[in-house]
Amino acid sequence: MTLWLVIIGTCAGCYLLKLAGLSAPRRLLDHPAVRRFAMAVPVALLAALIAVQTATDGGRELALDPARLGGMGAAAIALLLRAPFLVVLVAAAGVAAGLRLLGL
Amino acid sequence: MGIAVGLSGLAFGAAAVTAGLSVAQACVLSLLAFTGASQFALVGVIAGGGSLTAGAAGALLLGARNTLYGLRLADMLPWRGPRRLVAAHGVIDETFAGAIAQRTPADARASFVTVFAAIYLTWNLTTLIGGLATERIGDTDAFGLDAMGAAVFLALLAPRLREGRREVGVALLAAVIALAAVPFLPPGVPILLASAAALVIPGGRAAASPAADDGGPSEQEVRP
């Protein structure tokens, strides 16, 4: 029951956070500092998500998993070669799964 | 992108059920929260033995980036009333990345609607399948799905890094801040803290006229 309440609360909160951004006063974005921040924030957040997902154990502590690092390396190489999105993902998953199969 | 989201949805359904949620609870999260990183954060904390409060807080902190996406998208999606209420539900990483890659507001709207509809259907269907099939799938890490989750974010970030040195600086600083904070802060918080990187690095001309920077990085921009 508690779990259900937490789930419903999380859903409501996530929705209101989305709505708040779309409904914020337009003037806010006319401010150069706010605009600059809003442009750069997704880059910062995506980079942080990548770092945390790649080099930690579920965000709890730093952990370098060789297979996951190998998968990310493969994805980075595929992106440098301008490979299509799907190829990038298959390369990441394939290399990580392959390295785990080898016992890494 | 559809197949990638589908695989992520399978992974989420499996992770949620492994963490002790029912299939119905996993599906409600995908239907109503509909923001993958937050959902993974919630079930990740629950699976790791963290408190429900910590899990919800982590999910909401991660969900706060959708507020920032919404601020940027408001110019391109000028809907009011019920249409805005529906559109708000679709403000996520993928719809944001798709919309801002378009050249005109009309293209941005079309991209937003298409990507939202496709991902909503795929994400919810695959959450259901992943939850139901968890016993068969077993350890999703064996299929490299954990590396693929991060690769999705890397693929979303890559085009932004080609825009100039400022973006690369912001990204590197954010990654360093997040990793440095991980041992000291609850899951989810380091990622929000890293958004401070966007404040620290000076913006050059991009602030006054974003269009002026389309030609490439400027020499005056950033030396962090």
> What tokens does B104 get?
């005109």
Determine contact, residues A33/B207, Cβ cutoff 8 Å: yes
Within this chain, do residues A78 and A97 fall inside the same structural domain, yes or no? yes
Determine contact, residues B56/B83, Cβ cutoff 8 Å: no
How large a percentage of chain A has pLDDT more than 90?
A: 44
ipTM of the modeled complex: 0.81
pLDDT in tens, B176-193: 999 999 888 877 678 778
Contact A19 B188 (CB under 8 A): no
Within this chain, do residues A72 and A86 fall inside the same structural domain, yes or no? yes
Residue B210 has pLDDT above 70, yes or no: no
**Tokens 């502590």 -> residue:** A61
What pLDDT is attached to residue B205?
Answer: 43
What pLDDT is attached to residue B139?
Answer: 67
Contact A97 B161 (CB under 8 A): no
Nearest to B27 by CA among B9, B4, B44: B9
Within this chain, do residues A78 and A95 fall inside the same structural domain, yes or no? yes
Domain of residue A76, residue span: 65-103
Within this chain, do residues A70 and A59 fall inside the same structural domain, yes or no? no
Within this chain, do residues A99 and A85 fall inside the same structural domain, yes or no? yes
Write the residue in B41, B96, B203 that is nearest to A36 by C-beta.
Answer: B203
Task: Give the predicted TM-score (pTM) of the model.
Answer: 0.67
* Mean pLDDT to the nearest integer, B128-141: 77
Q: Mind spelling out the 3-state secondary structure of chain B?
A: CHHHHHHHHHHHHHHHHHHCCCHHHHHHHHHHHCCHHHHHHHHHHHHCCCCHHHHHHHHHHHHHHHHHHHHHHCCCCCCCHHHHHHHHHCCCHHHHHHHHCCCCHHHHHHHHHHHHHHHHHHHHHHHHHHHHCHHHHCCHHHHCHHHHHHHHHHHHHHHHHCCCHHHHHHHHHHHHHHHHHCCCCCCCHHHHHHHHHHHHCCCHHHHCCHHHHCCCCCCCCCCC
Write the residue in B92, B182, B207 that is nearest to A56 by C-beta.
Answer: B182
pLDDT in tens, B13-66: 887 888 889 999 999 999 999 998 889 878 877 876 667 887 888 788 778 889
> Any idea how long chain A is?
104
Contact A88 B146 (CB under 8 A): no
The number of distinct structural domains making up chain A is 3
How large a percentage of chain B has pLDDT more than 90?
A: 31
Within this chain, do residues A21 and A36 fall inside the same structural domain, yes or no? no
Compute the mean pLDDT over every residue in chain B, rounded to the nearest whole number. 81
What pLDDT is attached to residue B219?
Answer: 34
Within this chain, do residues A19 and A38 fall inside the same structural domain, yes or no? no
Within this chain, do residues A76 and A98 fall inside the same structural domain, yes or no? yes
pLDDT in tens, A55-104: 887 677 888 999 999 999 999 999 999 998 778 888 998 999 999 999 87
Determine contact, residues B189/B61, Cβ cutoff 8 Å: yes
pLDDT in tens, B59-111: 887 788 898 889 889 888 889 899 999 999 999 988 998 898 888 999 999 99
What pLDDT is attached to residue A46?
Answer: 81
What pLDDT is attached to residue B201?
Answer: 66
Within this chain, do residues A82 and A99 fall inside the same structural domain, yes or no? yes
Within this chain, do residues A59 and A71 fall inside the same structural domain, yes or no? no
Query: What is the least distance, in Å, from the CA of B198 to any CA of chain A?
Result: 5
Determine contact, residues B56/A13, Cβ cutoff 8 Å: yes
Contact A9 B56 (CB under 8 A): yes
